[in-house]
Chains A and B, each alone.
Chain A
Amino acid sequence: MLTVLALASVVLLGIVPEQSQAITIYTGWERHALVGSDIRLSCSFFSWRWTSDDVTFSWTYRPDGSRDSISIFHYTGGEAYVDNKGPFRDRVEFVGNPGRRDGSILIKNLDFNDNGTFTCDAKNPPDIVGRPSSVRLLVFEKLPIQAGVITGAIIGVVLGLLVLIVVIYYLMRFLVARRVFSLSVSKHGKKKKEGSQQRQGPAPPADPSKVKAAASEKKKQESRKDKK
């Protein structure tokens, strides 16, 4: 029994590192930017091993409609090497943190010629088997609003206003009933209230019927509003 367990654990330990040697690289899928702006292309990786000192990042660029890639950035041996001859000369800056597995670059002053696919490849020796990940850059003159944003906003605002109006209506009714303050909205109610208060002083006997009439009228109005 114990030998079987030991054998199984050895086999498992033998298998797991094989699979874990693959390094997984994450970039965005698509990035939108305005002409003339800067954009940060992020690239990070996951590796089962600790980040070694020999970690390398490299970025390559393939223009839209072309089949050739050109290398624009390389980080190795603790040093970042940027493009100094190609289409991105003096426009690439390393803003990543290799110790934190971040190999992002910043591209400044975008132009329509920068439309294309950027591929990030990271290696963390001895973890070198991995698939480079690509992010597509789209440069716009004016950023288009995504489908459904305005639709959702208008619907949300109108429904929100509706809910707000209903809440305020019930709140006002509640406050008026609690006599926190009296409104002149329901003119019948207020006049009858004032009328009943005035008549309560001089003529008490004639009052109860009129007060009752006023109270029943108010109750009728309240119940009508309730049943609505």
Chain B
Amino acid sequence: MLFILLGVLVLHLIILILLIVSTAASTWSVGDKVSTDLWYNCMTTSEGYHCKPASNEDWIQAVQALMILSVLFCFCSLIAFLYQLFRLVKGGRFFFTAIFQILASVFVMCGAIIYTVMSPDIGAQFGYAYVLAWVAFPLSLVSGLIYIVLRKKE
């Protein structure tokens, strides 16, 4: 029982870290010496490393919002898990934790899909932050489903 609990908690923490890194690192698209989105467009020129704010198109703002919301909801779900761990009645299910985690996974999915569809397809490839977002989505979905199934034993 303790191992399951520990494993679930470690998974949750991994998902939270993935989401935070994916949201904060500005490398959703990378080029030769360029990395762009979500927050800054940075370029390595002969004079050094320059960054300017990312373009404020509608879809980029939507992806920003969805990623921030997913981080928030994942964090809330962690808090709810710790709270329910100590206060839930025996035999109860972790519903609130599951709901927040599944919502976080839905938001990451939406953000990643919007970015995939709308990103400019000239030359640039997808960077590691984009890959992390797509990795975080199934992990968080699985984690949410685990919380639905998990029951607090005596």
Interface residues of A (CB under 8 A from B): 144-155, 158-159, 220, 223-224, 227-228
In this complex, the member of B65, B66, B72 whose beta carbon has the largest number of chain A beta carbons within 10 angstroms is B65
Would you give the 0/1 interface string for B71-82, flagging 1 where the beta carbon is closer than 8 Å to chain A? 010000000000
List 9 additional contacts besides A152-B65, A220-B89, A227-B92; criterion CB under 8 Å.
A147-B54, A149-B61, A150-B58, A150-B65, A151-B65, A154-B62, A154-B65, A154-B66, A224-B89
Closest to A155 in B: B65
Cα A228 to Cα B87 in complex, Å, equals 7
Residues of B in contact, count (CB < 8 Å)? 19
> Dominant SS at the A interface?
helix
Closest to B63 in A: A151
Cα A147 to Cα B54 in complex, Å, equals 9
The interface residues of chain B lying within 8 Å CB-to-CB of A220 are: 89
Cα A71 to Cα B88 in complex, Å, equals 76
Interface residues of B (CB under 8 A from A): 53-54, 56, 58, 61-62, 64-66, 68-69, 72, 84, 87-89, 92, 95-96
Q: Which listed residue, B56, B64, B92, B96, touches A224 by the CB 8 Å rule? A: B92
- B89/A223 in contact, CB under 8 A: yes
Closest to B64 in A: A151
A–B pairs, 9, beta carbons within 8 Å = A144-B56, A145-B58, A145-B61, A146-B56, A147-B56, A150-B58, A154-B69, A224-B92, A228-B95
Closest to A220 in B: B89
The interface residues of chain B lying within 8 Å CB-to-CB of A154 are: 61-62, 65-66, 69
Q: How far is the CB of A45 from chain B (nearest CB, A)?
A: 34
Q: How far is the CB of B4 from chain A (nearest CB, A)?
A: 20
- A150/B89 in contact, CB under 8 A: no
Cα A192 to Cα B106 in complex, Å, equals 38
Q: How far is the CB of A37 from chain B (nearest CB, A)?
A: 21
Q: How far is the CB of B1 from chain A (nearest CB, A)?
A: 19
Q: How far is the CB of A153 from chain B (nearest CB, A)?
A: 8
- B87/A227 in contact, CB under 8 A: yes
The interface residues of chain B lying within 8 Å CB-to-CB of A158 are: 69
- B61/A150 in contact, CB under 8 A: yes
Cα A228 to Cα B98 in complex, Å, equals 12
- A151/B61 in contact, CB under 8 A: yes
Cα A151 to Cα B84 in complex, Å, equals 31
In this complex, the member of B54, B61, B66 whose beta carbon has the largest number of chain A beta carbons within 10 angstroms is B61
The 5 closest A-B CB pairs, nearest first, are: A147-B56, A154-B65, A150-B61, A151-B65, A151-B61
Closest to B39 in A: A147
Cα A157 to Cα B92 in complex, Å, equals 31
The interface residues of chain A lying within 8 Å CB-to-CB of B53 are: 147
Cα A47 to Cα B37 in complex, Å, equals 48
- B56/A148 in contact, CB under 8 A: yes
Q: How far is the CB of A217 from chain B (nearest CB, A)?
A: 13
- A227/B65 in contact, CB under 8 A: no
- A155/B69 in contact, CB under 8 A: yes
The interface residues of chain A lying within 8 Å CB-to-CB of B56 are: 144-148
- A227/B88 in contact, CB under 8 A: yes
- A151/B68 in contact, CB under 8 A: yes
Closest to B86 in A: A227
Q: How far is the CB of A93 from chain B (nearest CB, A)?
A: 33
Closest to A152 in B: B65
- B61/A147 in contact, CB under 8 A: yes
Cα A158 to Cα B68 in complex, Å, equals 11
Q: How far is the CB of A88 from chain B (nearest CB, A)?
A: 31
